[in-house]
Amino acid sequence: MCLGIPGQIVEITDESRLMAMADVSGVRREVSVACVATPDLKDLIGEWALIHVGFAMSVIDADEAAKTLDALRGLGEAQETLEAMAQGDAALTGAVQEVTS
């Protein structure tokens, strides 16, 4: 399964190589915009795109980007909760073993 993460194109870094800077949740990284290129690459500045392994795969609207970012944050929070529960279970199991030993 592939996961595309919304990022906003903030500048064109190399027109000849179809490269741009994308802001992905506050982290900037250079990505290829070859898959979403327009005749004037500067038209992409400010647009949201799904970013996957260094490529802007498709342009999406701001609402879809916000919903996807919220869902990804929710998944992260769910993962943190599961890890905390697992740590609690491990601690409880260790305490039970100490009492029964």
**Each residue of 69-79: pLDDT tens digit?**
888 888 887 77
Report the pLDDT value the prediction gives residue 78, as an integer from 0 to 100.
Answer: 74
Give the start-to-end residue ranges of the domains of the chain.
5-73
- The pTM score is 0.74
Report the pLDDT value the prediction gives residue 73, as an integer from 0 to 100.
Answer: 84
Q: Is 59 within 8 Å of 69 (Cβ atoms)?
A: no
Within 8 A by CB and 6+ apart from 54, the residues are: 29, 30, 31, 32
Report the pLDDT value the prediction gives residue 75, as an integer from 0 to 100.
Answer: 83
Q: How confident is the model at residue 99 (pLDDT cuts 50, 70, 90)?
A: low
Tens of pLDDT, residues 11-70 = 999 999 999 999 988 899 999 999 999 999 999 999 999 999 999 999 999 999 999 988
Domain 5-73 has CATH 2.30.110.10: no
Q: Which residue has the tokens 């970013």?
A: 51
